[in-house]
Structure 1
Amino acid sequence: MGKGIGFQAKKGKEIDKNLVEKVFYLETQTEVDKFKELLANLPLEHIQVSNEIIMYADKTLNRKLNPNIYITLTDHINFAIERFRQGMLFDNPLLWDVQRLYRREYLIGEYAVALIGKQLGIKLPVDEAASIALHIVNAEFSNVMSETMSITKIIPQLVEIVRKEFQIVVDEQSIGYERFVTNLKTLMQRIVNKEQLDRIDQEFNDMVQKLYPREYQCSEKIAKFLEGYYPDVVLAEEVAMLSTHIRRLILGSQSNE
């Protein structure tokens, strides 16, 4: 990528490397073939607006996104625009959960909807901000969309377990809540990827159980709940670590009262 159209060069001529600002790589031949197909069949302005959204997300989140997002998000935006033009508008059942659980990604989704409106004259519904946010979350954790949607549905139920156990009111706009949700997301990501913490530090586990017995019991409840969704057992160290995160959430909620 670089300024200007075609780098001010004609077909067959070598591009001046000084004009190149950014180079994108797709890791597999399958990804390359898919992207070539998108380039051949999608309007250039759809590809350009998708790239601007991804660059904004990259800068805002300050973390590396899976390059596959250039395929998935571009394809999604094109499909969303085609649906809009045909009057096929659908509600996103995860809108509320996405707004609560992925605040930064949702704000990027809102930016994306506004940018599409400004550059393409297409006023997509607010539900599309949530759909775009899920694609960004996907790229953050290198998930497939089904895993991201599953995690999004499960997290509110896990938070509810903590709420009921300790009868607390959690400020969903607080940093503590966002931190706790992030820890839940990464825990489920480790379970899915079979990368659970397993240093077998029994002394640490014993200490957590002694210091925070109620939090540890609550963590065990969450572990049992997750085992109903995933084939792997949640390991003891993960239970102990989650207990400390629950403790922090409780202290944060008490300080807000």
Structure 2
Amino acid sequence: MEIKKVFNNNVVLAENEKQMEMVVMGRGLAFQKKTGDWIDPAGIEKTFVLERQGISEKIADLLKETSDQYLGLADKIISYAKTALNNKLDDYLYVALTDHLSFAISRHKQGFHLPNALLWEIRKFYKEEFKVGLKALKIIAAETGIQLPEDEAGFITIHLVNSQFPGKGMEPMAEITGMISHILNIVKYHYQMELNETTVSYERFLTHLRFFALRLTRKDSKIYEEEADFFFEQVKTKYAKAFQCSGKIALYIQQTYNRRLSCDEKIYLTLHIQRVTNRQE
């Protein structure tokens, strides 16, 4: 098996005898190796084939920022999800879930718990995916010794649902697309910048907006009325510019859809806006 690209010492993009590209993992597999070298099959611990073009490059970019341990963990969760769910999962899930696990476990180690304001809807509308999310928590605990809260099962469910979008043919997609487009334009004009659509941060923001828009377009979705708390005030102060932008989005949602965003929803929007714009600024 020939190396096409070295991601790090443990992960490479390779090509087999049938000229099929695949991501290959193994401890020290690519140590002191370069493009064109051959891999010892005995050192291969995990192989997975990616059908969608461009995903390997996104994995390479992601592994510059995070440990390949999370890619292996994401692969175990995705392998289980593929057996539990009937719908096909998009290859980008490897990137999205790896990134999320890295972020979630890092937050947990810092003692920072992010409540999931959408957990009620997630349990109700995506029961099978949520079961996989709960199983994912057990996999994470077994592999890392870290027990993440149930809120994280909901976040993982969001990624599973989003991964099935290409084949779902969902009825409100036109309305959802319009809402997302308007929100992205609000962010662009507020910051006077074009967002880099090739980054993982942008993809993460888009994932949140898709689920956010889907929830708002549902007639039976629950409306939250939480009061502002200490965390809300912290985010409002620390990320003032992003918070102002989320306020513009809240006004657009209220005027267009007659829906008032909760404090939690404003927090999530602010954090995502801060992350996607801060890296470019």
Q: TM-score, with normalisation over the residues of structure 1?
A: 0.53
Q: Which residue of 2 aligns with 1:24?
A: 50
What is the one-letter code of the residue matched to 1:148? F
Greater share of helix residues, 1 or 2?
A: 1
How far apart in 1 are the matches of 2:26 and 2:91? 23
Residue correspondences, number: 159
How far apart in 2 are the matches of 1:34 and 1:92? 27
Q: Is 1:63–1:140's contact at 8 Å kept on the other side of the alignment?
A: yes
Matched, 1:152 2:152: no
Which of the numbers 110, 115, 121 marks the counterpart of 2:134? 110
Q: Is 1:97–1:153's contact at 8 Å kept on the other side of the alignment?
A: no
Question: CA deviation digits over 1:134-163, x for unaligned, max 9?
Answer: 10000011494212232134335279xxxx
Percent of residue pairs identical? 30
Change (3 A) 1:157 1:126: same
Q: Which has the higher Rg, Structure 1 or Structure 2?
A: 1
How far apart in 2 are the matches of 1:59 and 1:3? 22
> How far did residue 5 of structure 1 move?
4.8
Q: Which residue of 2 aligns with 1:137?
A: 161
Runs of 4+ in 1 over 4 A off after TM superposition: 1-10, 14-17
> How far did residue 50 of structure 1 move?
0.6
Q: Which residue of 1 aligns with 2:182?
A: none
Matched, 1:54 2:84: no
Change (3 A) 1:93 1:8: closer
Question: CA deviation digits over 1:95-126, x for unaligned, max 9?
Answer: 11101110000011001111111111111111
How far apart in 2 are the matches of 1:62 and 1:157? 25
How far apart in 1 are the matches of 2:137 and 2:74? 11
Matched, 1:33 2:57: yes
Matched, 1:13 2:38: yes
Q: Is 1:116–1:123's contact at 8 Å kept on the other side of the alignment?
A: yes
Alignment of 1:55-134 (within 5 A): 55-134=79-158
Change (3 A) 1:53 1:156: farther
Greater share of strand residues, 1 or 2?
A: 2
Q: Is 2:50–2:56's contact at 8 Å kept on the other side of the alignment?
A: no
How far apart in 1 are the matches of 2:105 and 2:151? 13
What is the one-letter code of the residue matched to 1:155? R
Q: Is 2:122–2:154's contact at 8 Å kept on the other side of the alignment?
A: yes
Q: What runs of 5+ residues in structure 1 fail to find an aligned partner?
A: 160-227, 230-257
Q: What runs of 5+ residues in structure 2 fail to find an aligned partner?
A: 1-22, 167-172, 174-205, 223-255, 258-281
How far apart in 2 are the matches of 1:100 and 1:68? 25
